[in-house]
Amino acid sequence: MSRSSIKVLLTCLAIAWALVFVQATEETKLTIYHQKDGEYIKRGDIVGLPGVPTYIPSDNEIVHFNAAKDPFYQIKVKDERTGNVFLSSVKMCQMVGSEWHDEITLHLDESNHFYYLSYYPESNYCVSSKSDITTQPFNTTVNVVTPVTGPKPLLGNFMSKQSPPKTKKATVSINDEIPENKEIEEKTFFQKYWYMIIGGAFLLMSMVATEPPPAGAPPARS
């Protein structure tokens, strides 16, 4: 294998590792809108998934609502990574009673990808209003729920006959504990990894043996 081939191989490996690292560290951004008069106004973003999510409000977080026309407060959440859209709504009086403290629970799958959300006001207490309602800066708590692996079922033939009890034999007490002040012999580095050292030596010898001579060099004499 020539030196140029080795350089090309190392470059390809570096690019592949870089792509894997970027994909592993790719964050999911969720954009939140609130609905008013049939239109959706951007309220803020949730960033930081799949790590610790953070809610960042936008400049349009404060909106005026008509209490008679808007009995419900509705949000739309868009996953910017997949383009999926989720809708959720609660009573407007509950948002007023909660003083605009709400809770968003994000559900992640086995691959730590967002796939569903739950939206709640902080309190179910209702404060009715006949006048216009103006939102306050939202105090939003973002929670994350990940799947929990359940217990594995026990496998085996439970209907099989039980074997008759074996007769007890006299047992000999064996002390298998390590005596105090006795050092355990550790293997050397060569004893642990001798196969990797030999394999690397063979690979290096084959690369050197197949390397072409430099241009202009006289042929080797027999």
**Could you report the per-residue pLDDT of 120-172, keeping only the tens digit for each?**
999 999 988 778 899 999 999 999 999 876 666 666 555 555 555 555 555 44
The DSSP string of 136-179 is ---EEEEEEE---PPPPPPPS-TTSPPPPPPPP--------SPP
Task: Identify the pLDDT of residue 68.
Answer: 82
Q: Report which of 34, 22, 42, 30 is spatially closest to residue 115, judged by C-alpha positions.
A: 30
Residue 217: band (very low, low, confident or very high) from pLDDT cuts 50, 70, 90: low
From the CB of residue 49, how many other CB atoms can be counted at a distance below 10 Å?
A: 22
Q: Report which of 160, 74, 147 is spatially closest to residue 110, judged by C-alpha positions.
A: 147
Q: Give me Rg for the CA atoms of the chain.
A: 33
Cis peptide before 50 (omega within 30 of 0): yes
pLDDT, tens digit, 9 for 90 and up, residues 47-103: 998 889 999 999 989 999 988 889 999 999 999 999 999 999 999 999 999 999 999
39-49 sheet: strands from edge to edge: 54-57, 39-49, 28-36, 72-79, 85-91
Q: Alpha-carbon distance 52 to 104, whole Å? A: 13
For the chain, the average pLDDT equals: 77
| CB within 8 Å of 124: residues ≥ 6 apart | 94, 97
Task: Identify the pLDDT of residue 207.
Answer: 72
Task: Identify the pLDDT of residue 206.
Answer: 73
Hey, is 63 helix, strand or coil? coil
Instruction: With beta carbons less than 8 A apart as the criterion, state whether 70 and 95 touch.
Output: no
Task: Identify the pLDDT of residue 202.
Answer: 74
Task: Identify the pLDDT of residue 174.
Answer: 42
pLDDT, tens digit, 9 for 90 and up, residues 169-210: 554 444 444 445 444 445 566 666 667 778 777 777 777 666
Task: Identify the pLDDT of residue 10.
Answer: 60
